[in-house]
Structure 1
Amino acid sequence: MAKSIREVTFELLRELGLTTIFGNPGSTEETFLQDFPADFRYVQTLHESSAVGAADGYAQATRHPALVNVHTSAGLSNSMSNILTAFMNRTPLIVTAGNQTREMLLMEPWLTNIEPETLPKPWVKWSYQPIRAEDVPAAFMRAYAAALQPPAGPVFLSIPLDDWDKPALGQPVVRSVATRIGADPRRIAQFADALSSATNPTLIYGSAIARGDGWEQAIKLAEKLNIPVWAAPASERPPFPENHPLYAGGLPFALGLLSKKLASYDLAIVIGAPVFRYYPYVAGSYLPDGLRLLHITDDPEEAARAPVGESLLCDAVLALETLIEQVKARPSRATSVEKQPHRMAPHPAASVSAVDGQLTALELFQTLRESTPETTVLIEESPSNLGEIHTAWPINHPDSFYTFASGSLGWNLPASVGIALAERDSGRNRPVLAIIGDGSFQYSVQGLWTAAQQRLPILFVVPRNGEYAILKSFGQFQKNPGVPGLDLPDLDIVSLAKGYGCTGVRAQTLDEVRQVCAEAFSRSGPTVLEVPITPTVPSLI
C-alpha cells in the first residue's frame, strides 16, 4: 500500500532535521498535524506572529532552518510583520499554511487563501502552492533549498487540507544544498590590493559576519591591517567584539552624519551589510570627498541597490578569510582608536537625573549588566533606550546579542523564546535576558505563555516609561507637534505577566533589581520584571 503524502513529508522533514514545528493550529492545518509523530515537537504559540518570531530566534541560535505552521490566509496575514523581520534578518524559515480543499477552491469558500503565492510577497524568497498533492514533498525540498541558499530567508508553502491523505508517488528525494558563495578571484585580489595600498582605510562590518560565525576571522583581518572597525548602521547582530582596541562603534543611521564620520578615511570596505541603512533623512552626500567605497555581500539585490561603491558577491566570512591571506600587514597604530561610549547605538545615552526617586534607564541597565552572568544573551527591543543599553552593556562575545533588522515591533519577545529553547536544546544553557519597552511589549505579549509552557528561565525586563518616547523623539526631530496617542497610561505589566503564567515582579530600587536577577535564572519558567524609569525623549541621531 502506498504511503500517504503526510507520511512521506514527515519522513523528509525528519531527514532534514526539521522535527520542531512552531505554530498556532487552525482548521485547515489539522489534517497535516493529525497523528503527530512522537519524535517531533510542536511549540504552540497563541498568535501566528509569535510563531514566526520564535522560529526565527531558534533558527538564528541553532544556525539551522526552522519550520512554522500558520492558519491559511488569516494566520499568514497575522504573521506578516515577523515574516518581514525574518526576511531582513536573513533567517532561513519554511512558513507553511493550509488552504481549503481543492474541490472548493474555485468558489473561494470561507477561510480560503485566494492568492496564496501573492500574499506573503515581497517578504519571502519563494512562495508556492503545489499544483497537485503529489508535488507536496518535492515542494518542501525546494523550500528548504531556497530558504538556505544565499541570501538566506523565509519561504512560503500553501497546502490544501485534503492533500495529506492522498497517496504519494514514492520516497522523498533529499538533496544537499550549498550555503556559501565564493568570490571572483580577480575582483577580491583587487580589493585586497586597495586595502593594502590605502593611506587611511577602515573596515565596516555587518551582521552577516555574526550569522556566519565569523568573529574570529573579522578580528584577524582587523589586526593584520591595524585599522579601525565600525559596525554598519543598525546592525541587528554585532559583527565584532566591542571591547577590542580597534572597535570604534556603530555608524550613524542617517546619510549626512554617516558621511561625516567617514571623512578622515580614503578607503572603506563594507563586509556583510547594506550600503547603507538610513533613517531618518539627514541631508548630505553619500560619501565624503576622496573616499573610495568597496562592498562585499552575498545578496545580488543588495549590491544592485547600493547607490555608491564597487561591489563583490561573496559570503562575508569567506571574503574575510581570503582577504586575511592577501592583504599586507600594517604596523601597529601609534594612537588608539577613538571609541563611541554608546557603541552600536545611533545616539548617546540621555543626560538625565532620576525624578521622584525613579531610576534612570542607564542606572537600570548598568545594574542588570553587573548582576547577570558574563555569558548572558541579551535581546533588545526598547528603541528609546538604545543609547543607555549599549553604553551599559558592551557585547564582547559572539552570539550574545540579538535584535530585529526591520524596525517592526513584536519580534523580540517571541524570538527570545526561540533563542532560550535553542540554548536548552544545544546544552549551552546560557542565561537569556530580554529588554523590551512597555510599548513594544504589547505587540506580542502572548509570547509569554509559550515561554511559561516551555518552562524557559528567561528574564524579561520592561523599563516602564509610560510613553512612546521614540515617537516623541521623531516628533521633535521632524517638528510635528500635537501628535495624539503617544502616552501609555495604566498598563500593569506585572498583572499581564501573571496572567500568562509567568512570575511578575515590580522593582523600584537597584537592590530590588539585583534580587530579581539573583533568582530569575534558577527559576523553572520566565520572570517579567517591570521597572518604572524616568521618562526621557532621546536624541534621535
Structure 2
Amino acid sequence: MRTVRDAAFDVLRRQGMTTLFGNPGSTEVPLLTGLPDDLRFVLALHEGSVVGAATGWALARGEPALALLHTTAGLGNAVGALATARENRAPLVALVGQQDRRHLVQEPFLTGRLAGLAGDYPVRRETPPRAQDVPGALARAAHAARLERGPALVLVPMDDWAAPAEELPLPAPDRLRPALAADPEAVRDVADLLADATAPALVVGAGCDAPDTWGALTALVERLRCPVWQEAFGARAGFPQHHPSFAGHLPSDRSLLREVLAPYDLVLSVGAPVLRQYAYRPGPLAPPGTRLALVTDDPAEAVRAPVEYAALAPLPQFCAALAAQVPQRAPHSAPDAADRAGARAAPGDAWKPDGDGALEAAEVLAALAARIPADAVVLEETPSSRPELHALLPARRPSGFLSAAMGGLGFALPAAVGVRMGAPARPVVAVAGDGSALYQVQALWTAAHYGVGVLVVVLANGRYAVLDQLAGQHGGGGGAWPAFPEVSLAGLATALGCPARRVTGRAALLRELDEALPKLAERTAPLLLEVEVSQAR
C-alpha cells in the first residue's frame, strides 16, 4: 500500500528538498524511521540550530530547505530563528509534528496549539484537513517559500504518515515559474527620475544579493557614474563592496543619515528598505531637496516605503533594462561622504604588529582580511565590532556577507554550517563575539559530526561589549549584567567534538590563520579559534 509518507517523499524529491534538518521528537519518529537512502537527515542539537542551518542552506542555494520541528516545544524553540529566516528572505519549509489526529480532541500529552505560535513570521501555514492532503500541503509550502522568500509551515499529525495515499490530480503545480519581465513603463519612470537628477546615488540591500543582480547593478552604476551605499544593518551585500563606486554603509542614525545624503538630489533604493533606522530620532529621513524612490521585488517593502515613487519588479531584469535606457554620464563627486560614514579602511591601517597588550578586535579582523579568499562567505555576529568588520572585510562575491536581519543572536554558527553544506566549494568563516556564539554553540556538534569544514573565529572579551557601550550612551554607569570571563568557547567546542584552540597574542593569531585559511576550501572538519581580545571592545 502506498502511504501518505511515500507520497510526501515524492513531493520532497520533486521540490529538491532531499536534505532534512531536524531535532526529532516522538511526533516525528513515524516519518523518520527507515528513511530512504536518497533522503539525508542532518541532526542539530537545538531547534534554533535546525532552522539556522536550514536557513544557511537555503541562502547558499537559493532553493527551499526543509526543517523538521517537534510540536510545541520544537516550534517554540525555533520561533526566533524562523523570524530571522523571514527577515533574511530565506526560502524554508518547516514541517511541524503534532499529536495523533485520532485523539487530538482530548488534548493528549504533547498536543500542540501550533497555529499561531510563530506569529506572523511564516509566509504560509497549513494544517491539512485530512492525512491525504499532506503531500499537497508540502508542495504548496515549497512554492510559497520560493515566491515570498520566507518560512512556510506545515503542521502534520503523527498518524498521518501511515495513512493510505490517494491517487488524485496534482494538488499543487510540480513546477511554478514566476513572471520575470520588467514593466517597460516602470523602467521609463525610473529612468526619467535619474535623467532629472544632477547628483543621484543608489542604496542597495539584501534583495540584490545574487550574481545576476550584481551584474546588472554594476552595469547600471558604471553608466550612472554614481556612488552606491549599502543599507544600514544589511544582512546581505547588495553590490560588490570592492568596486570603486561603493561608498560605504549608511548610518542608522537619522541625523547622520541626512548628513550623508546631503550631496544627492535623488536616492534610489534597490532591493533595500527606505531607509533602515535603529534608535528613533526626530526629523525627516532625507535632507530638503533629496528625492526618494524605490525598486523592489518585495510587496511589503514597497507599500511601507516613504518615497514618491516605488516600482515592484524582478530586480535583475529591471536593472538590466534600466542600464540600457540611461545615458552615460560624467561622475559626480560627493566629497568626504564615504569618510564620514567610516566606509572603508585598509587592513594595514588596523594592524599594529609591534603593539603591546591584548589584541583589538580590529586587529584580528585585519589579519583575517589580509588572508581570506576572495570567494569566502563571511557570517557576522559580533555587534560591537560590526563597523570594523564592514570596513575591513568587503563582500567581493554574491553571498559574500551574511548576517541576521532580525538582529537576534544565534544565527552565525548554525547558518555557517548550512551554507558550507549547501555550497561545499566555497570557504566559510563565521566571526562571532563570545556572547553571540553561546546562543547556538550546539551547532558545532553538527559541523563536527558531518565533517563540515567551517572556520569559526570568536572574538572573546568575556562580556556583552555592545550592551556596555549602549549603557554608556544612556547616562553612564554600568549595566545590571555581569561579565563572564570564565566561559571558555574553546572548551565548549572541544566538548562538542569540534577542534578548537584559545589564541592569545599576535604571533599565535598569525600562526593559526596562516595554517587554516589557505586550505579552508578543502577542510572537512570545523575549527574554532577563540581569540582573546581587549576589554575595550
The alpha carbon displacement at 1:417 in A equals: 0.1
Counterpart mapping for 1:193-342 below 5 A: 193-211=192-210, 213-333=212-332, 339-340=338-339, 342=342
Corresponding residue of 1:71: 70
Q: Is the 8 A contact 2:461 2:532 kept in 1?
A: yes
* Deviation string, structure 1 residues 144-173 (Cα, Å, up to 9, x no partner): 111111x31111010000001111111673
Q: Is the 8 A contact 1:361 1:385 kept in 2?
A: yes
Corresponding residue of 1:495: 491
Residue aligned with 2:321, SS = helix
Aligned letter for 1:44? L
The alpha carbon displacement at 1:445 in A equals: 0.4
Q: Is the 8 A contact 1:54 1:414 kept in 2?
A: yes
Q: Is the 8 A contact 1:247 1:337 kept in 2?
A: no
Aligned letter for 1:137? P
Aligned counterparts of 1:134 and 1:111: Cα–Cα separation in 2: 23
* Deviation string, structure 1 residues 32-83 (Cα, Å, up to 9, x no partner): 1122010011111001110100011011111111010010111000001110
The alpha carbon displacement at 1:25 in A equals: 0.8
Residue aligned with 1:170, SS = coil
Corresponding residue of 1:526: 526
Corresponding residue of 2:133: 135
The alpha carbon displacement at 1:334 in A equals: 7.0
The alpha carbon displacement at 1:410 in A equals: 0.2
* Deviation string, structure 1 residues 71-120 (Cα, Å, up to 9, x no partner): 01110000011100000001100001110011221121221112x22111
Corresponding residue of 2:443: 447
Q: Which runs of 5+ in 1 are unaligned?
A: none
Aligned length, in residue pairs: 527
* Deviation string, structure 1 residues 402-427 (Cα, Å, up to 9, x no partner): 11111010011100000111222xxx
The alpha carbon displacement at 1:254 in A equals: 2.2
| Closer, same or farther: CA 89–494 of 1 in aligned 2, 3 Å | same
Corresponding residue of 1:394: 394
Corresponding residue of 1:40: 39
The alpha carbon displacement at 1:475 in A equals: 1.7
Aligned counterparts of 1:518 and 1:23: Cα–Cα separation in 2: 35
The alpha carbon displacement at 1:393 in A equals: 1.6
Aligned letter for 1:457? G
The alpha carbon displacement at 1:179 in A equals: 4.2
The alpha carbon displacement at 1:452 in A equals: 0.2
Aligned letter for 2:138? F
* Deviation string, structure 1 residues 204-234 (Cα, Å, up to 9, x no partner): 1111111464111111000011111111111
| Closer, same or farther: CA 399–351 of 1 in aligned 2, 3 Å | closer
Counterpart mapping for 1:391-470 below 5 A: 391-424=391-424, 429-470=425-466
Residue aligned with 1:373, SS = coil
Aligned counterparts of 1:225 and 1:356: Cα–Cα separation in 2: 47
The alpha carbon displacement at 1:266 in A equals: 1.0
The alpha carbon displacement at 1:480 in A equals: 6.3
The alpha carbon displacement at 1:394 in A equals: 2.2
* Deviation string, structure 1 residues 451-502 (Cα, Å, up to 9, x no partner): 0011122111111111111111222223364421152221111111100111
Is 1:167 aligned with 2:164? yes
Q: Is the 8 A contact 2:351 2:367 kept in 1?
A: no
Aligned letter for 1:519? E
The alpha carbon displacement at 1:307 in A equals: 3.0
Q: Is the 8 A contact 2:23 2:46 kept in 1?
A: yes
Corresponding residue of 1:9: 8
Residue aligned with 2:217, SS = helix
Aligned letter for 1:270? S
The alpha carbon displacement at 1:318 in A equals: 2.1
Aligned counterparts of 2:398 and 2:474: Cα–Cα separation in 1: 36
| Closer, same or farther: CA 334–446 of 1 in aligned 2, 3 Å | closer
Is 1:118 aligned with 2:103? no
Aligned counterparts of 1:280 and 1:486: Cα–Cα separation in 2: 24
The alpha carbon displacement at 1:122 in A equals: 0.7
Residue aligned with 1:268, SS = strand
Aligned counterparts of 2:145 and 2:344: Cα–Cα separation in 1: 29
The alpha carbon displacement at 1:175 in A equals: 2.5
Aligned letter for 1:466? G
Aligned counterparts of 1:400 and 1:463: Cα–Cα separation in 2: 20
Counterpart mapping for 1:336-355 below 5 A: 339-340=338-339, 342-343=342-343
Q: Is the 8 A contact 1:181 1:298 kept in 2?
A: no
Q: Is the 8 A contact 1:22 1:51 kept in 2?
A: yes
Aligned counterparts of 2:156 and 2:75: Cα–Cα separation in 1: 13
Aligned counterparts of 2:103 and 2:476: Cα–Cα separation in 1: 51
Is 1:368 aligned with 2:364? no
Residue aligned with 1:164, SS = helix
Aligned counterparts of 1:371 and 1:512: Cα–Cα separation in 2: 15
Residue 155 of structure 1 is aligned with which of 152, 162, 167?
152
TM-score in terms of structure 2 length: 0.93
Percentage identity across paired residues of the two chains: 39
Q: Is the 8 A contact 2:464 2:483 kept in 1?
A: yes
CA-based RMSD: 2.3
